[in-house]
Amino acid sequence: MQKRLLGKSGLEVSALGLGCMGLSFSYEVRPEKTDAIKLLHAAVDRGVTFFDTAEVYGPYTNEELLGEAFAGMRQKLVIATKFAFNIKPDDVPGKHELNSRPEHIREVVDQSLKRLRTDYIDLLYQHRVDPKVPIEDVAGTVKDLIAAGKVRHFGLSEAGAETIRRAHAVQPVAALQSEYSLWWRALEAEIIPLLEELGIGLVPFSPLGRGFLTGTVKSVENISAKDFRASLPRFSSEAIAANQALVTMLEKIAAEHKATPAQIALAWLLGQKPWVVPIPGTTKLHRLEENLRAIDLPLTPADIAEITRAAEQVKVIGGRYPEALAAMTQK
């Protein structure tokens, strides 16, 4: 397995990580716990060292799953988790109140450590920026947790440029986690140059467009009403139909390289910068293996440029999130 460094942080991880959310959250069909643990073990066996979770996934059950699965092998893995919300039993998923007050961060970290069955968190992200709490207070709290040995690296998720700069001035940010793929390239204008300037790694989530770039979503009939994607503007009938042009382009290029659309999409991301580490999620072993083969796909810089030009000919329609969730991003 190839390794990559997340910026200048010194944090080394496998070139592809595994986004674990779907093992216990958001999708209608989720694996039994024993099957989810088998998948996590299979990822480790294949060289994956970087695993992404969050307290809100479940909530709580995803961290508990990783804690159980990785008992006895913790030292060789890099586990990332996140804070940012008040989580109440009667909350509607995706509508939790933001809370990044310092006392709440400290409380949440202690709870996450227990669920993960560990005494340190490799990478702790603020899941969403809380406009009620100065980012300097957030970064300072994580800095204290690093000094205490409970956390090793600080990350931000879906943060804007000003927030990243201010946070980094207090406690160096190891990684930014944000959506980035051939389906969503807004980071290229301002965020990616800033990350390069500051030496911060990028961890793209949804690198396969929440499954769309695999070519398996041809219509809304492929998405259950209980699947969280049913609420996303990009998965409306109109958007799916219009955006198929991007999948068609990927399928054509994939055929030329004897690869799959998913592998081309991931290889394109890996070819952007050496400090980009995508975290595709899956519940299926064959998809995990398919994704990992993208690491060794021999795309040249010319191939990457060709894919970029082809993608630029397709106008992607539909927002990433409903209005309320969209308001939490890029602060």
Active site residues per annotation:
57
Find out whether the peptide bond into 59 is cis, omega within 30 degrees of 0.
yes
The amino acid sitting at 270 is: L
Tokens found for residue 268: 């394109």
Q: Residue 5 and residue 10: Cα distance in Å, rounded?
A: 6
The amino acid sitting at 277 is: V
> Where are the alpha helices (H) located in the chain, listed in sequence order?
33-45, 61-69, 102-116, 135-147, 161-170, 191-198, 237-256, 261-270, 285-292, 301-312, 323-326
Q: Residue 329 forms beta bridges with which residues?
A: none
Taking the CB of residue 104, how many other CB atoms lie within 10 A of it?
17
Angle at 147 between CA 162 and CA 74, to 5 degrees: 100
Angle at 109 between CA 107 and CA 115, to 5 degrees: 110
Cβ pair 288, 212 in contact under 8 A: no
Q: Which residue has the tokens 């060794």?
A: 296
